[in-house]
Amino acid sequence: MPAAIEQATKVLKENNFKITKQRRAMIEFLVGTATHKFVEVTSIDDFMRKTFPNMSHNTIYRNISEFANLGIVERQVQGDRASVKFQCDFQHEHHHHFICSNCGKVIELKDCPLSPEITSQLTGCEVTGHLFQIYGLCPQCVNLMNN
């Protein structure tokens, strides 16, 4: 079993979730398609409904939501489009991304931009989370655009 699938199933088990054939199929799909880029939730829904025709949309979306809450996937919403990406690093969940606007490739950023200069402006506030993403073109897409 690939390490990524093993890590995800371990997280599910540790949180008292059963490893059903549907959950395993969803994890395998995510590992195969959403490791280095965000994938629209509708494409996950399409795959799951083709693989398990009697599976409801609600069950699929509930599982995606549970995966996000457990840190198995990372969520992103742009306008009315929701997408997810398989977790980059289960040991260091807090990280940020560069996302190529052309091909969708995701590059993990090691540093966090949330600085003391920013948090010092939030006197009396309790920060419970934040998102930081940079959009642009990856080197391959820059080369394609310039040729």
Residue 118: predicted pLDDT: 83
In the prediction, which pLDDT does 133 show?
Answer: 74
Both 101 and 32 in one domain: the answer is: no
> Is 57 among the annotated ligand-binding positions?
no
If asked whether residues 67 and 35 sit together in one domain, one would say yes
Burial class (CB in 10 A: 0-12, 13-18, 19+), 52: middle
Q: Which residue bears the tokens 């398609």? A: 33
What pLDDT was estimated at residue 88? 57
Query: Annotated binding residue at 125?
Result: no
50 and 24 in one domain? yes
DSSP assignment of the chain equals: --HHHHHHHHHHHHTT----HHHHHHHHHHHHHSSSB-EEHHHHHHHHHHHSTT--HHHHHHHHHHHHHHTSEEEEEETTEEEEEE-S-SS----EEEEETTT-BEEEE-S----HHHHTTSTT--------EEEE--HHHHHHHH-
Domain range enclosing 5: 1-86
Residues 44 and 78 in one domain: yes
Q: pLDDT tens, 42-52? A: 999 999 999 99
In a domain, 28, yes or no: yes
Q: What is the pLDDT of residues 101-137, one digit of tens each?
A: 888 787 777 777 877 888 888 889 888 777 777 788 8
Residues 48 and 79 in one domain: yes
Query: Which has the closest alpha carbon to 84: 102, 54, 114, 104?
Result: 104
Are 106 and 62 contained in the same domain?
A: no
Tell me: is residue 94 an annotated ligand-binding position: yes
CATH of the domain at 76: 1.10.10.10
Residues 2 and 73 in one domain: yes
Same domain, 76 and 100: no
Provide the whole-model pTM: 0.71
Ligand-binding site membership of 130 (annotated): yes
Average pLDDT, the chain: 86
What pLDDT score was predicted for residue 98? 80
Same domain, 53 and 100: no
Is 91 a domain residue? no
- Read off the amino acid at residue 131: L
- Pair 17, 72 in one domain: yes
Query: Are 77 and 110 members of one domain?
Result: no
Domains in the chain, number: 2
Bridge partners, residue 135, by sequence: 99
72 and 11 both lie in a single domain: yes
